[in-house]
Amino acid sequence: MKIYLYGIREDEKEYLRQWDAAHPDVEIDYTHEIFTEETAELAEGSDGVVMVQTQPYSRAALEKLHDFGISKISVRNVGLDGFDFQDLRDFDFSLTYVPVYSPNAIAEHTTSLILRLLRRVPEFDKKFANADFRWFPTIGEEIHGKTVGIIGTGHIGSVVARIMAAFGAKVIAYDIAPNPALENLGIYVDTLDELLEQSDIITIHTPLAKKDIHMIDADAFAKMKDGVIFINCARGGLVDTDALIKALDSGKVGGAALDVLESENDVFQKKFDKIEDVKDPQFQALINRDNVIITPHTAFYTTTAVHNMIFDSLNDNQRMLEGKAPKYPVDISVE
Ligand code: COI
């Protein structure tokens, strides 16, 4: 049995070696390249494939896998928005994902972003770099006592809810499918509008379904409190970035932290000589503000998460190839 992995990074290799050593019956091979129409043929002769990327999975590339007789795909991450499920159905693929590689990784990153904005760390860092150690006027705010609104209360959002509650925030949440594990906390509001209107800090933790593209648009920003803190560690496409930029300009949004951007594929995981060389206008409109923090899709990026992404995806790919039920199947019959 042979499993081929796409997009392997240096930091993943040790975990790959460990999994390989524990599974002498499975042959594995990999490329650093992501999965595209050009690289699809590298998997020829393999039985299953494992991949992860923020670029879309192209239909033409998937068709090539199908032509090679490969039908089992495992992605080693949680977000599935790179796929058109119709393509997967048309070519008869089975798909698994890794939904809980480390909700804490993203929840802790979210918390650090909230704290960095509230305590005005970017401004203090700038002052510090200029040997300016004075306090005034860079006074901060506390999470304690604030209303934190959490949109989406799955694995990640529910950890954020518990962390924020531990800080002494009033936590409110909105989800189309409330999480039974949280229902006894009495945090759910009935509508997204209620959450937008009541929150001092809003953080979003939902997948990017087609219906949710620009869920947070100009109308949504208009409903928020003046000076609201807005965090997105989920998917760039959930937010209308131009509307966010206007809301920052007007002061409606008092601070924003973004681990994901609508146009991140042109920017993240690349090395530029200097920030000015990044040609993306939305990135440029955001980056030079004291009240905006951008991290390059690193909320997930911890050793725990990367270990689990490799192990859980390979385990499930092997299970499928052995005709067993995978632990984390994706229902591709629904969009
Ligand atoms: C995800 O798990 O969906 C992420 O956003 C992480 C990234 C490696 C794609």
Looking at residue 286, its amino acid is L
Quick count: other Cβ atoms within 10 Å of Cβ 156? Answer: 28
Closest ligand 1 atom to Cα of 79: 3
CA–CA distance from 215 to each of 206, 238, 252, 257 (Å)? 10, 5, 17, 17
Q: Which residues pair with 172 in a beta bridge?
A: 149
Q: Could you tell me the sign of the dihedral formed by the alpha carbons of 54, 59, 64, 69, in that order?
A: positive
Q: How far is the CA of 18 from the centre of ligand 1 (A)?
A: 22
Q: Is the CB of 54 under 6 A from ligand 1?
A: yes
Ligand 1 atom nearest residue 80's Cα: 3
- Of 234, 236, 305, 243, the closest CA to residue 266 belongs to 236
Q: What's the whole-number mean pLDDT along residues 132-153?
A: 98
**For residue range 199-249, what is the model confidence (pLDDT) as tens digits?**
999 999 999 999 999 999 999 999 999 999 999 999 999 999 999 999 999
Catalytic residues: 235, 264, 297
Predicted pLDDT of residue 199:
99
Q: Is the pLDDT of residue 274 over 90?
A: yes
Which of 74, 269, 300, 308 to probe ligand 1 with, by most ligand atoms within 8 A of CB?
Answer: 300
The neighbouring-strand residues paired with 188 are 173
Task: Please indicate whether residue 309, judged by its CB atom, sits closer than 6 Å to ligand 1.
Answer: no
Locus of tokens 């040790």: 14
**196 pLDDT tier (thresholds 50, 70, 90):** very high
State the closest ligand 1 atom to the C-alpha of 76, by its place in the atom list counted from 1.
2
Whole-number Å distance, alpha carbon 297 to ligand 1 midpoint, is: 8
Q: What is the pLDDT of residues 34-79, one digit of tens each?
A: 999 999 999 999 999 999 999 999 999 999 999 999 999 999 999 9
Task: Give the integer Cα–Cα distance in Å for 62 and 84.
Answer: 10
103-294: CATH architecture: 3-Layer(aba) Sandwich (3.40)
Q: Is the dihedral of CA 229, 99, 312, 84 positive or negative?
A: negative
In the predicted structure, residue 335 carries a pLDDT above the cut 90: no
Q: What is the pTM of this model?
A: 0.97
Ligand 1 centroid–CA 275 distance in Å is 24
Ligand 1 pocket, residue 79 CB under 6 Å: yes
Within 10 Å of residue 276's Cβ, how many Cβ atoms?
10
Common-topology check for domains 2-101+302-321 and 103-294: yes
Eight-state DSSP code of residue 75? E
In this prediction, residues 141-152 reach a mean pLDDT of 98
The stretches of 82-190 forming alpha helices (DSSP H) are 85-90, 103-118, 121-129, 155-166, 180-183
Domain boundaries, the chain: 2-101+302-321, 103-294
| Percent of the chain surpassing pLDDT 90 | 99
For residue 52 and ligand 1, the question of a CB distance below 6 A is answered with yes
CB atoms within 10 A of CB 161: 25
Q: How far does residue 78's CA lie from ligand 1's centre (Å)?
A: 6
Sorting pLDDT into bands at 50, 70 and 90, what band is 83?
very high
pLDDT band at 307 (very low <50, low <70, confident <90, very high): very high
Q: State the average pLDDT over residues 74-91.
A: 98
| Domain range 2-101+302-321, CATH class | alpha beta
Give the whole-number percent of the chain exceeding pLDDT 70: 100
- ipTM here: 0.98
Task: Tell me how far apart the alpha carbons of residues 294 and 82 are, in angstroms, rounded to a whole number.
Answer: 22
User: Quick one: pLDDT at residue 188?
Assistant: 98
The distance of Cα 78 from the centroid of its chain, to the nearest Å, equals 8
